[in-house]
Chain A
Amino acid sequence: MKAVIKGNSAVAHGVRLAKAQVIAAYPITPQTSIIEDLAAFVAKGELAATFVKVESEHSALAACIGAASAGARVFTATSAQGLALMHELIHWAAGARLPIVLADVNRAMAPGWSIWTDQNDTLSQRDTGWMQVYCASSQEVLDSVVQAYKVSEKVLLPTMIVLDAFFLSHTHEVVDIPDQGVVDRFLPPLELPLKLDVERPGAFGNLVFPDRYMEFRYKIELAQREALEVWKDVAEEWSQLTGRSYGLVEGYRLEDADTVLLTAGTPASTARVAVDELRREGVPCGVLRLRVFRPFPAPELARLLAGRRRVVVLDRNCSYGHHGIFHQEAKSALYALPERRRPELLGVIAGLGGRDITVGDLVAILRKAAREELPEVSWWNVLQPQEELEAAVASK
């Protein structure tokens, strides 16, 4: 069934179709309509779930951890401050190997208060053991939520589905909402290998001495590595059911591109238009969108970017003191290439706090890059210190 819905609604439909049994969430702009939709589904009987209307995001994830430990399929959603408040339990959920699915609507961190998009909230959770999927359309949001349950329940790691505030969360698009039967064929009911069970009374979370702790952390790493393949398999299966396929990364007009824009989230869609425009001008460029960020598809990046002249990484985030985060990650992936096959890597930080990244911006960035005028690291469309301005004038 096709419908024109918001990205947030796409999340809610995905959760409904996945038949989540326990939902615990706390509202925060711009996530709020996700849980409003879910509350409505439950109230109308369209989703047989218990919705625990907790008093904080911390409690939301705690309730999910409890419910998942008891073997329920669970869901929560949040954004920015809420995700940060969950941080302790973000670690916990992964350490406990619980297949929780969380939708985070990317929002900038305060202060000052900002409700608009950037990626620093989710990227701050990069090292927790969660899988992260950055979506670029409402359809992808819905499909990724359903897929996330399948992958999470296979490798026993939680997944964060990430969508940009407003550009995706509140933008209406045509979305094909699959039939329940399709999803049911794809996603069987959850059966955890170990759960809270009065018939098998074990303890989760007891003290682990140094002689064992590392082994269990190593198993998280192994599960992440396995997940790279599982995401591909699951996408393939989904594609056979729905005709919609998703890779770990998604390329656009890469065939002969010597300049590739690497980014994640909705700017990738904008970038396609920019690339089309530049291609018309004869600039051989393309887009590579990072979809699955954890596990990190380093081999795919290396394969697809090897031998290009340059790669421009557009980061809607910053690891202060050391570049954009995707920039760093791409660098680490490309380092595996022999030096002659290694493209030049340029980092651009843009669009923080929801500042618009327009087609014009991306055309300008790529054009500058093609002219070799783009510095290795730069902040786009931001007021510059006086001396830098003077230096820029002087160089002309």
Chain B
Amino acid sequence: MSVELAAYDPKNLHLPEEDWLRSGHLACPGCGAALGMRLALKALGPKTIVVIPACCWAVINGPYPFHALGVPVLQVAFETAAVSAAGIRAALHMQGRDDVAVLAWAGDGGTFDIGFQSLSGAVERNEDIIYVCYDNEAYMNTGIQRSSATPLGAWTTTTPEPNTKPEPKKNMVEILAEHRIPYAATASIAFPEDFVRKLQKARSITGTKFIHLWISCPAGHKSEERLSVHIARLAVETGVFPLYEVEHGTRYTINHEPKFVDVSEYLALQGRFRHLTAEQLDFIRQSIQWEWQRLRAKAAMGEQLPPPPAPPRSGMVV
């Protein structure tokens, strides 16, 4: 008996096999930032220039004369990721190299806090760059200090017990959506196909693209190294970190409907939440619900609105 078959593919993940991240980089074991970069470059490929401000990746890339990526890297000052990328884009444009993608790759500190001004400026000017914020929810490179991306109730060295962080996390995608950014999205290292698709989509769009990538940090979250992907998945499946994208600030697409696993399952795996009070836990639960209501309401509103009028290009185009 002969058996005619379609090719068997047992793959759970359909991603490019080729890598532009090299072994031997200096990330901690189980680092979500390293995994994120690996996936990002799988998506973007060799015609990419990466801009890295002060953040864990400034170290991960290796000490001189070593280099962990198969693409060019420019390390830049902490607060300048977006605008440095814009400068590179301007140069490439003048050189006729619009085929090269410029990827700004910054942590939550460099994005939410110290780099926010230059990011806001770049987005307002609609610079043709891809900006990925890999968010581990604190200043991890300096040893776990709170940032405005740190969630409420989290322990850090600057929010020690019992003064854990009293404020909820800043919502970066929503802030940028209000800039009318052509494309903003959230992503997770536990959903690599979604992340890769979003980067590839981002590459196809002219203008500023922002991707907020949630990553695990075993050292800073006080979690087991092996659980880095698992916890990232739980962040999504509990509803803590919704996966969605926003086009032109109005068109929302929710990419993954969470199972809404109880958030305690996510929190319990991270030592930074060990001392959560009942009130804080209650707030977190309520916030998940409220944020999802809000997200769905925005998605519904976006469906009713036509896309905003596209601003005409004006003046001298070089």
Contacts and interface: CB of A to CB of B under 8 A. Distances in A.
Asked whether any CB of A lies within 8 Å of a CB of B in the complex, the reply is yes
A89 B118 CA distance: 14
Contacts of A62: 76-77, 80, 83-84, 87, 118
Interface in B188-239: none
B76 A65 contact: yes
A72 B318 CA distance: 14
A376 interface: no
A50 B317 CA distance: 9
A23 B71 CA distance: 26
Nearest to B315: A43
A87 to B, nearest CB: 11
A173 B48 CA distance: 48
Given A52-B86, A206-B67, A206-B75, A67 B318 contact: no
Contacts of B95: 70-72
21 contacts: A45-B316, A54-B83, A54-B118, A54-B121, A55-B124, A59-B118, A63-B83, A63-B90, A66-B84, A66-B85, A70-B49, A70-B91, A71-B91, A72-B95, A88-B77, A198-B47, A198-B100, A202-B73, A204-B75, A206-B62, A207-B59
Nearest to A206: B64
A218 interface: no
A196 B316 contact: no
B22 to A, nearest CB: 11
Contacts of B121: 54-56, 59
B87 A48 contact: no
B148 interface: no
Interface of B: 46-49, 51-52, 58-59, 61-67, 69-77, 79-80, 83-95, 100, 117-118, 120-121, 124-125, 127, 315-316, 318
Given A50-B93, A67-B88, A72-B91, A55 B64 contact: no
A205 interface: yes
Contacts of B76: 62, 65-66, 92, 205
Given A62-B87, A202-B72, A205-B74, A196 B63 contact: no
Contacts of A359: none
A55 B74 contact: no
B73 to A, nearest CB: 4
Given A67-B91, A207-B59, A198 B74 contact: no
A345 B127 CA distance: 54
A172 interface: no
Contact of B87 (A64, A198, A208): A64
B92 A70 contact: yes
Contacts of B80: 58-59, 62, 65-66, 89
B90 A67 contact: yes
Contacts of A206: 58, 61-67, 73, 75
Contacts of A66: 51, 74, 76, 80, 83-91
A66 to B, nearest CB: 3
A65 B84 contact: yes
Given A50-B93, A209-B63, A22 B46 contact: no
Contacts of B73: 201-206
A53 interface: yes
B107 to A, nearest CB: 16
A65 B75 contact: no
The 5 closest A-B pairs by CB, nearest first: A66-B87, A205-B75, A55-B121, A63-B87, A72-B91
Nearest to B101: A198
Interface in A351-370: none
A126 to B, nearest CB: 20
A64 B77 CA distance: 13
Contact of B318 (A48, A63, A92, A198): A48
A45 B316 CA distance: 7
A83 interface: no
Contact of B74 (A53, A204, A209): A204
Nearest to B81: A62
Contacts of A196: 49, 72, 74, 88
Contacts of A43: 315-316
Nearest to B120: A55
A22 B80 CA distance: 17
B75 A198 contact: no
Nearest to B78: A88
Nearest to B75: A205
